[in-house]
Amino acid sequence: MASTSAARGRGGWLGGLRELYGRPSSALGTSLVAIFLVLAVLGPLATPYGATQQVFTDRSQPPSPAHPFGTDHLGRDVFSRVVAGDRDIFLLAGSGTLIAVLVGTLVGLFATYRGGWSEEIAYRLFDSLLAVPALLLALLLLGSLGPSRSSVLAVIAVAYTPIVARVVRSVVLDTKTKEYVLAARMQGESTAFVLGR
């Protein structure tokens, strides 16, 4: 039984990879993301120079074996700087998206399931956030919070939470009237149990 489920899991991953590499555009995108992910994980092992290390004799050099992406006007290796930034981008974007998914899912579940004023207030707030263009909202938040990692994290979370909550709301509205949900409520199951299931 365990070997069957393991084989099914491997088949799912392999099938997904086959699907991604079935079209040239998705194969290119998948390969680029995989390369940058590996660089983010291996980071310092893949770079011969520090991200801020300056070699004044190597200023403004074109790409070469010693500097694959060349150097900038201060003699810093551009490849090392790209790899250092790569790790930050994955951590910030990944963390911000994770926060948005968690908050959006929780708010979408609880507010929609309970209905009433909690749902009205939550979704009117989300509607007002969605009415502002995402770029403008990001600039407003960054301008008021100031430039820092936590500000960028907050901007990503605020920009994507309403989108996640809307998707969750559509599913909960459809599911909460199903017979098995009504049966669980009549059986005396707690709200947390019903929402978790």
Q: Domains in the chain: how many in total?
A: 2
Q: Residue 154 falls within a domain, yes or no? A: yes
In a domain, 38, yes or no: yes
68-78 burial: b if 16+ Cβ within 10 Å, else e? ebebbeebbbb
pLDDT of residue 101: 94
Q: What is the pLDDT of residue 2?
A: 47
The pLDDT score that the predictor gives to residue 140 is 87
Does one domain contain both 38 and 101? no
Question: What per-residue confidence (pLDDT) applies to 162?
Answer: 93
Question: Averaged in consecutive runs of 10 residues, what is the pLDDT profile of the chain (197 residues)?
Answer: 50 78 88 85 80 84 86 88 83 89 92 86 89 86 86 89 92 85 82 79
Helix (H) or strand (E) holding 11: helix 2-20
Q: Which domain holds residue 117?
A: 86-196
- pTM of the entire structure? 0.68
